[in-house]
Each structure stands twice: as structure tokens, then as C-alpha cells.
Chain A
């Protein structure tokens, strides 16, 4: 049984039909171009030679899988093809998807990484990222989901810089039906977060989600400000923040690696939220981030609706990329 079949079976077994459908719908454009090109590639090349690998390299690079990761992957593929004595390009397809999932998980067990929510104590989630990636929107969606799970959620409007950011979070707060703690624009973000913690404690909330202003990772002062926000949280609640989520725009290219690296240095990022995956962008850089920095993706944004924030599942991610190929084979 091929790897893709195994992947598929896994989904049917786990009865994750709904999640899979979401991925399939959200990633339709992604999938079409990506798997279409791999299919095309496989159809055109009968023999596995250098040219084949070079084109495969391009297909992967076009998905924004980091250049270094692609090079590593191609090397491994070459070895695997040699080892298993694969001659037909059709058989390579299986090996490719297998390796992609393997790159993501590395030596670890394949498990879905969930957001770390504590039972019976306040969980603090700090949300960071560069400008315009969708931090506030993701917080709105996450708050909505946690609320639906029966949690009492409080939001802290830590983006005191961007015009309209506080109002934006308030509107999300209203939609999700959760409280928003804020000060006026231009106030100290650390102070807002401090207020947020106090309020979350006194209101006996389960989860506090802290919004922060978008900042480019090469602005040292702003990164220091972020580190200070984190220190305030650490000081007020031992063991917090329980999650530091870096929000990444899936249209971002190689710079996403820099972002992950620098934000981790300042705030020890524990997971990634990959947004805007419903366009044609492939977000392949998350493979590189996991591969090189070992930061897992925890959530993906697959649309504009409240419900369109999903748990990330590497198998589903790769399955989404290759689903067309599977169905074509069966037809």
C-alpha cells in the first residue's frame, strides 16, 4: 500500500472528513497548481534523471518551501530512489509526499500539536508577528472557538500603535462575545497587558489572549518592547505565557524563516499560526521553519469566517497538496 493511500486511510479512520474537507476547500487553488505541476512533471518524464530532479526542485521552490530545505529534500530523494531502485517517475510521487511529511516531523512522532490550554488555571497566550499578517483577526477567531468550547476568554488590546487596531479587536470581541481590556492609543503595551492579567484574574477567566502591535523583526527597539511584554507576563503569572504564537502570512517567502528566528529569540515562540492559506500561496515555508527551527504550526487560517481557523495537521497539509493526484488515480 502506497504512502498516499495510508494517508488517506488514516483520515477516513479518524473520521476527520470535516477537517479534510476544509483543507481541501481552503487549499483548492494551492493544490491545483502544485499537484498539477507535479503530475505534469511526472507525465513528461519517464526516466528519473538530473533534469527531472531539477524541475522537481522548482516545483517545491515555487511552494515557498525554503531553498535549503528543498536542496536537502532532493538529496534525500536521490538517495531513496537509488536505494529502492525506483525507475518509474510514478513511484516517486509516493516517496515525495512521504519525505515532505517526514521533513515536517523529523524524528518526532507524528502528532497533532494542540494549543496548550491549562485546566483550572489561567492560560495566557501571547500573539506576535510582523505587520499585516492577521494577528488581530486570528485572535478573534481563536477567541470565538475557545468560547464555543466553554472557556471564559479575555482579550488584551496590546496593539496601541496602529491606527484603529484597538477598535478592530473590540469588534472581534463583540462578535465572539468576550471582554476586551484596553487603554487608549499610544499607551504602553506592557501596561495594557498588565491590566489584562489583573482583569483576567479577577474575572476568573480561563484564557487571556494578548494582542501586540505588528513589528518588523529587524527593529531592535520594538523587539525589546515585545520582550518586556513577555517579562511582565512571566512576572505576574509563573509559567506564563503558556503559548507564544507567531502569526505568519502564508504568502510570505523566505523572510518567514528570519521572522521565526528573530521572534523566537525575543519571545520563545511555541507555535505558528499560518494565515491566508485560502489564496494561491502555499505556505511551504512552514516546512522549513519546522525543519530548521523546530517550531510547529498549531493553527491555520483557511478563510475569512469565524470558523475558518483550523488545527494544523501536517498529514492533512500534504494530503491537501496531493489530493487531486489521489483522486485522479482512483478515477
Chain B
């Protein structure tokens, strides 16, 4: 599978090295190889990847493995931290000029989604900032581009300024500003024609528009699916126009969107908005952190890591380990563990977050019956203290009492007792196997 996520890739590498207390250099080397592939498959530019990997190596080697994390997860965490850092904070502010109107210029390659984004941005300004924008149709080249903006204007019930396809874009922009002043629009959004960054004539035209109308913001609109070439595009536009921000479009697709990282790395300009659908209200503030996870293709494994960090108390985990080793695991411990797992959220969600879980046999379409867990809990809670500590005292009348108390049947009680017994045996075997090593990766030994 060409597009498996980083988490899955690391999972495979990790199989060899789980149970280690420290991340060794060799581990890091193997894992950074996987990280590199994952980033490249996500379309992050290879130069950016190179720098990143260097920093990740430096940070990851020799790190203590956190109690609740496996070495693989630890590396993911370092990678994600690095990515998030590189992406910068959330910045969806739009400039406000002290001398209105504030002028925004939209630029980019053909088909990136400039016109649609122009409409979305206008809608955003009106809805969230109570502004009254004027849209300006400066794309005189593409057939029906003006018509497209006019249609969007009609849908939004907003004015569109156009002078047909014969006029010069620089003149159109200039006159639009005059018109906006006359009609008291506080924002002007200029939609320009899509152009290749290597087309010097058209790039010069953009520069002319810029010097004529002195925009407060110049947004580069980039298709989130862009590949390695994203750096060239962003670099050229930035060099010529000194961009103020980036809008990433078509992020509702299934691309990893590594272009976002490349663009940020080469221009150091913030990605401000993300296009999340075809409707005019589907423009969202850009979340760098979410993007980092997405580029790594690891679903919510980080959310899971964070949940594990907060919910599994380290001390409890240590005690549990000790109990497993000595096989003094009791129903009380069982209950406690169930509580911890439940604290982490619905089991279905939890399972979905575990990379590779959907590939495990039997788990693929497993419908986890939370009701069954409630039964188990009820049965255990109907036991006396003694019974919970030492299930061997169990006899027919005790079982009958427990069944009655928990609203279940004797056969259900029997099934639980049998499962618990088997589990204990298994744990003993496993801890024996791990002897000598510092037992790790056995946080939740129960398969529900």
C-alpha cells in the first residue's frame, strides 16, 4: 500500500524495538527512514524533508521513553513537535487599513481556486467581521472568469466590479478602488488571472497592479494537492510580490497536503485560511497542528497519545506491572483498568485511533459492545471483597448471588470467571517472556 500513514510504517519498524527503555541511535535511524518516506509521500519538498530529518535525529536520540509511550510513539511525537513548530501558530487575522478601503489581492496558478476563494473570503469578511467588500474581476484572460465572479456575487448578494475582457487589469484594479471609496466599501478583494510563475509578462502585470493599488494583503492561493513544485511556485510569487499570506484550497480532499509545509518553509509566510468545500461558507482558519498530523497521515494517534498521557496515571501503571509479574492481579485491578480505558473515550473511537487496528484480524469490523462491559462491571461490583481478591473461593451459591445482584445469569458469571483465569495465565506467560527487560507496551492487556 503506497499511502499508508506514518503511524503504520512506524508500527512495523517498532515491532522490532518495543520494550526498550531508551531510543537508541539505530532505532532512530530506522525510524527516521520511515519518517522520511512518509513525508515525501505526503509531498513535502525533499529539501525541507532533509532539514527536518536532521533536526529530528538530533532531538530524538537518547531521549528517555515516556512511561505511556512506546519508542515509536516517542519518535512520532518529536516529529510532530518539529512539524508544528515549523508550521507556526494559528494566524487568520486579516489586515485592516487605517485609510479604507483595505485592499486584498488574490494571486496564484491556474485552477488553484482563486475566484472561489475570493467569494469565500468576501463572505467571511461580511459574516465574521461585519464588513462590506467589493469584489473586483481582474481575470480578463480565462473565458467566463468574470461571469464566474459575477455569479458568486449574485449568490452572495454582493457587488462585483468589472470592465469586461477588453480592459487592462491594472486599470480595472485602479478604478475599482475609486469606486469602493465612492460607495463606502471597507474592503476590496481583487481576483487576478491564474498564471504560471515562469510567465514573466503576467508576473510583471501583477507587480504593476501591486504598485498601483498598494494592497494591504497579497494572498497566494495554492492547491493543497500540489507536489514538489510548490516550493518553486511559492518562491517565485513571494520574490516578485512579497506575499502576506497563503490560502490553501481543496483541503477537503484526501491529499496529505505536504505542500503546506514546503510553502511555509520557503516563504516563511503564514498560511491563513483553508478551503474546505465547494460552498461559499466553507473557508476555515488554518490549524497548523492539525495539518502536521495530516501530513504524517497518522489519524488521531497523537490524540490517543495525549489521552494516554493524561489518563493513565504513571504510578498506577507501575503497580499494575508489578501485579502482572507476580500474577497477583485481581478483579479490583481489572475494574480499575476498565475505568482507565473508559476514561479515554468511547471504545469505538479509541480503536479507530490505533494505527493498524483496522488491519488486525477480527478487529476489522468489530462492533464493540459497550453494554457487555457494563455487564462485566456489574458482575464484579456484585462480588464481595474476598471474592474479588481471590476468585478461587467461588462456589455455586456465591455465583447465584452475584448473578442476581448484577442482573445477569450464572452462565455469564461463569464466562467472566473463566476469561479472567485465562487472562491471568496469559499475563504470567507474557511477563515471563519479558523478564529481564523493563516491561513496556503492556498497558492494556485485555482485548475487548
Contact = CB atoms under 8 A, between A and B. Distances in A.
A212 interface: no
Contact of A281 (B152, B155, B229): B229
A163 B147 contact: yes
B120 to A, nearest CB: 12
B111 A133 contact: yes
A257 B255 CA distance: 10
B259 interface: yes
Contact of B196 (A131, A171, A278, A282): A278
B198 interface: yes
Contact of A280 (B41, B143, B144, B229): B229
B198 to A, nearest CB: 5
A168 interface: yes
B33 to A, nearest CB: 11
B411 to A, nearest CB: 44
A29 interface: yes
Given A63-B228, A252-B227, A254-B43, A164 B196 contact: no
A132 interface: yes
B2 interface: yes
Contact of B112 (A132, A219, A278): A132
Given A168-B143, A172-B143, A163 B109 contact: no
A258 B144 CA distance: 30
B12 interface: no
Interface in A213-263: 216-219, 249, 251-258
Nearest to A68: B2
Nearest to B44: A253
Contacts of A170: 144
A127 B272 CA distance: 33
Contacts of B142: 168
B144 A252 contact: no
A280 B256 CA distance: 21
A216 B144 CA distance: 22
Given A163-B148, A279-B198, A280-B198, A258 B254 contact: yes
A67 B37 contact: yes
A132 B2 contact: no
Contacts of B50: 58
Interface residues of B, number: 48
Nearest to B229: A281
B30 interface: no
Given A131-B113, A172-B143, A217-B254, A258 B196 contact: no
B278 interface: yes
A217 B109 contact: no
Contacts of A255: 43, 225, 253-256
A251 B109 CA distance: 10
B278 A251 contact: no
Tell me if B's interface is mostly helix, strand, loop or mixed: loop
Contacts of B228: 61-64, 253, 282
A253 B152 contact: no
Contacts of A165: 144, 148
Interface in A276-300: 276, 278-282, 285, 292
B144 A167 contact: yes
A253 B144 contact: no
A326 to B, nearest CB: 23
A5 B111 CA distance: 38
B316 interface: no
Given A64-B229, A279-B196, A254 B256 contact: yes
A52 interface: no
A162 interface: yes
A66 interface: yes
Contact of B109 (A61, A162, A279): A279
A216 B227 contact: no
B148 A249 contact: no
Contacts of A281: 227, 229
Contacts of A143: none
29 contacts: A62-B45, A62-B228, A64-B229, A67-B37, A130-B250, A140-B143, A163-B151, A167-B148, A171-B143, A172-B143, A185-B151, A216-B252, A216-B254, A252-B223, A253-B226, A254-B2, A254-B42, A257-B2, A258-B3, A276-B111, A278-B196, A278-B198, A279-B109, A279-B197, A279-B198, A279-B229, A280-B198, A280-B232, A280-B233
Top 5 A-B pairs, shortest CB-CB distance: A253-B227, A132-B111, A164-B148, A163-B151, A253-B43
Interface of A: 29, 58, 61-64, 66-68, 130-134, 140, 161-165, 167-168, 170-172, 185, 216-219, 249, 251-258, 276, 278-282, 285, 292
